Amino acid sequence: MVEDINMSVDLGGFSIKNPVLTASGTYGYSLEYGRFFDVKKIGAIVTKAITLEPREGNSGRRLFETDSGMINSIGLENVGIEKFISEKLPILNKSLDFIVNIAGSSLDEYVKLGAVCQENNIRAIELNVSCPNVKSGCLEFGTDEKSLYNLVSEVRKVYNGCLIVKLTPNVTEIEKIALAAQNAGANCVSAINTLKGMGIKLSWNKGKFSKQTVSGGLSGRAIKPVALAMVNRVAKVVDIPIIGIGGIYTVDDVFEFLSVGASAVQVGTANFTHPDVAGRLVDEIHNFMYENGIRSVKQLCDLLRE
């Protein structure tokens, strides 16, 4: 048995109390999940993607349940950076560790967002260069290493906190994208965002088919094998921490990501069906470490990677 358990994790200059975070777009802006458990228990939350101006998001059907997953086409609906700073940030600053996810339609928008975050002493940001549900920005940068290198370099000029780049799986060589992020000054990468997918619902009525479709990002249990493979590939080429994302529901899922090179994890789709899952995972990791005499997350990772 061991009493002095250290569950903290360093994400490249941004230290969090344990390796469980919640993924952008699945946890609101601050304490929305507080009715289900003590949100302050988790390592950090990642906010909904924030853009310069408020966005209403995509029209039409936005969510589609699939076998072992979900397709979303939200389209980065959010309150905009001005309202976020005035209304959401004060709550976050008083409550828990957080990372602000930012998204832009152009390099200039990302730089302006980075500058606002710097001015407001936000300790960590996550560059969303991987959302597949918008017409401009995001994937335009996240799928090309030269464009991404330029973007991260320019944001780094105006922001000196922990800079995390959220990687897309919708590329042939994720290693090149991750290296570009690291070489441009990123402190950490998170992997992966959603895969491009389509959901179809067919109905037969009076001799004719009708069809509903939703194109967007596939998440949930279905993408975990892809996410594990990509985290494993990225871990072989970068020297900065990796946050693993994709289909995490159980403590075994967390351990699998840590075993292939992740330093921490983000819980996403599971929050919609199990709103207390992040808190439960913190407890289960702690209990496992306590029962097995493991003193730190680093020691746990070393054991998992032997």
Residues with catalytic roles: 131
DSSP 205-256: ETTEEEEEEEEEEEESGGGHHHHHHHHHHHHTT--S-EEEESS--SHHHHHH
Greatest Cα pair distance, the chain, in angstroms, is 69
Distance between CA 133 and CA 209 in Å, rounded? 27
Cα atoms in the 13 Å half-sphere on the side-chain side of 225:
2
Q: And the tokens for 11?
A: 């994400």
Say how many residues make up the chain.
306
Q: Which position has the token pair 């777009």?
A: 25
First to last CA, the chain: 22
Strands, E, within the chain: which ranges? 9-10, 15-16, 20-22, 44-46, 63-66, 69-72, 98-102, 124-128, 162-166, 188-191, 195-205, 208-219, 242-245, 264-267
Name the burial class of residue 61, with classes exposed (0-12), middle (13-18) and buried (19+) by CB atoms within 10 angstroms of its CB: middle
